[in-house]
Structure 1
């Protein structure tokens, strides 16, 4: 029964993600091996949305390393454990908590020894900047512990490039590119663990910089990003964008008179979407949106709010229309409203 519930939640979340995003593009699923230990290593931009996008479509059932401060209370601990989430402790959680990671690393090694999958973010933080940040040694410590406990085991590292068009906007577009697997065992040197860690981090970072848009020049970051935005490039295609970035490095920023197009159409679509979903949109804009701590969490908060409130909103409308007219008319109206909303998300300009 528990497996059925997990699958049902996965279906609901996946449907929600595809309804929430205008486009989800996935490539490289053939690179994910079956029945062998795998560690998914994505770049990190949009908080929980990053996790959900991978978990619902990666063709594996991964365990997740999650910041420990969310594991509060017995109920939440049970929920997170059910969904295969493990706490990871950071310096900000208190120096005395870091010792707990030793047991977590052992658990991760055991998970990998069973041929299961782990998902963790090697950057160890999130940011909307279009660049791959320096990788933390946390994931390499897990790999080293795994090889120490299970010397004959190999772990396949799958770098994952997450590329959002505008991660803080709605609706957004995203591309998930799964890279070719990297054999972690080839880098393991029991006599030089520091080199092992550096070599693994270097290889994963190199791959991530090809799978996602990467602006390496900090001094010219704003200029290059402005140039890309002016050209209205397809951020879902990191290969072509990274080639453009190389050519822009020595150029000056160019402004455009056409940075906002079809503004009248945009306003019309936004107005229509707001009218059709007024209680949800009003509650989001006046109540929850102002409480979002930073833009990296905007997509997560908005998606969570929508996936909870939209079914309630439709159920309420269904009851009102059924009592006022008939169940048949109510179902027609609700179906039409759902289809129109999907159409606005997929083909409109609301955000």
Structure 2
């Protein structure tokens, strides 16, 4: 019970934080989310730990997550992640000897599905900002078929989920979350030999992900197509429209990026958040993977800015009255909302706005 209250509190905090962080969160296909029963969400993975945050805060099911084991190295961080229903999944790069730990994790996943709860898995196996759906690993199918084998009366629904960002690592974020058609697995599992059932389920999920997110085939044409889309200032979060252009190889003419007339407001926000901004600039120099920029920036902004604004509001209240302190806090939040919701998000920018 305590864990559920804690999870709900964190879920609500993150959802509020994403509202302030995102220009627009476009959610499609919510009717495809089963209201009850065992569900496995199979999600593409372009942008670090921000991907599960967007998915879990756009559906009402309480999700359990499988994330890469490297995130669990620090004991304190591990306790927090476990309390939020995150579980580690081990890969070859984590050490061959570590792979045996996956069996225990799979058993936990089977138990979760038996209780008709939900799992969220990223079957591409790693994050990558490339606008292409990469080959899927079979780990999620092993979990599904393992649970079906163990519990003969269990039905598990797989729901592919496509995530597309206007651009990763840039602020404010603009993102599309697209829930695909549910795939029931019991009849598929029982109708064919395991190798064939595995291939069919894998292909069904992969084909949906190519429609639910922007997919540029990863071949010699990839860079040319991406450049043409960027030059045309395409809104990538209009997924269907963008994929139709890619399929037809017909792109609009080149357009100049929209000018950001709100940049002075951004500088004012930075000045008002000077200590969190300095801390972020120092930390950002040590981020080696571009897919983690959004993750760290969002996390730091969510906690440091709230703390910093609260301290400043308290100081103002003490010396100038509570009304002025409340006015400062409200104005600070309003300035962020105005910038985030109204600043342009071009298809490509020279530098990330921090």
Tell me the CA shift for residue 217 of structure 1: 4.6
Gaps of 5+ in 2: 346-352
1:94-105 aligned at under 5 Å gives the runs 94-105=95-106
Tell me the CA shift for residue 151 of structure 1: 2.5
1:1-351 aligned at under 5 Å gives the runs 2=2, 3-72=4-73, 74-189=75-190, 192-248=193-249, 256=254, 258-262=255-259, 265=261, 267-285=263-281, 287-349=282-344, 351=353
Describe the superposition over 1:211-269 as per-residue Cα deviations: whole angstroms up to 9, x where unpaired.
000001521111111111111112112111111002227x8xx984x433325x25434
Conservation of the 8 A alpha-carbon contact between 1:23 and 1:346: yes
Q: In structure 2, how many angstroms separate the alpha carbons of the residues matched to 1:332 and 1:135?
A: 51
The 1:73/1:227 distance shift into structure 2, 3 A limit, reads closer
SS of structure 2 residue aligned to 1:173 = strand
Conservation of the 8 A alpha-carbon contact between 1:89 and 1:101: yes
Conservation of the 8 A alpha-carbon contact between 2:258 and 2:344: no
- The more displaced of 317-326 and 216-225 is 317-326
SS of structure 2 residue aligned to 1:205 = helix
Q: In structure 2, how many angstroms separate the alpha carbons of the residues matched to 1:298 and 1:76?
A: 18
- The more displaced of 326-335 and 202-211 is 326-335
Conservation of the 8 A alpha-carbon contact between 1:269 and 1:349: no
SS of structure 2 residue aligned to 1:125 = coil
Q: In structure 2, how many angstroms separate the alpha carbons of the residues matched to 1:75 and 1:225?
A: 41
Q: In structure 2, how many angstroms separate the alpha carbons of the residues matched to 1:49 and 1:35?
A: 25
SS of structure 1 residue aligned to 2:54 = helix
How does the TM-score come out when normalised to structure 2? 0.92
Conservation of the 8 A alpha-carbon contact between 1:31 and 1:181: yes
Q: In structure 1, how many angstroms separate the alpha carbons of the residues matched to 2:17 and 2:73?
A: 26
> How many residues are paired up?
345
Gaps of 5+ in 1: none
Q: In structure 2, how many angstroms separate the alpha carbons of the residues matched to 1:139 and 1:273?
A: 43
Describe the superposition over 1:174-218 as per-residue Cα deviations: whole angstroms up to 9, x where unpaired.
010111101122321587222221111100000111100000152
Q: In structure 2, how many angstroms separate the alpha carbons of the residues matched to 1:121 and 1:46?
A: 11
Q: In structure 1, how many angstroms separate the alpha carbons of the residues matched to 2:311 and 2:335?
A: 18
4+ aligned runs moved over 4 Å, structure 1: none
Describe the superposition over 1:259-287 as per-residue Cα deviations: whole angstroms up to 9, x where unpaired.
33325x254343333233333223322x0
The 1:272/1:74 distance shift into structure 2, 3 A limit, reads closer
- The more displaced of 2-11 and 17-26 is 2-11
Q: In structure 2, how many angstroms separate the alpha carbons of the residues matched to 1:138 and 1:193?
A: 14
Q: In structure 2, how many angstroms separate the alpha carbons of the residues matched to 1:21 and 1:203?
A: 31
The 1:230/1:269 distance shift into structure 2, 3 A limit, reads farther
Tell me the CA shift for residue 322 of structure 1: 2.0
The 1:333/1:267 distance shift into structure 2, 3 A limit, reads closer
Q: In structure 2, how many angstroms separate the alpha carbons of the residues matched to 1:266 and 1:74?
A: 42
SS of structure 1 residue aligned to 2:285 = helix
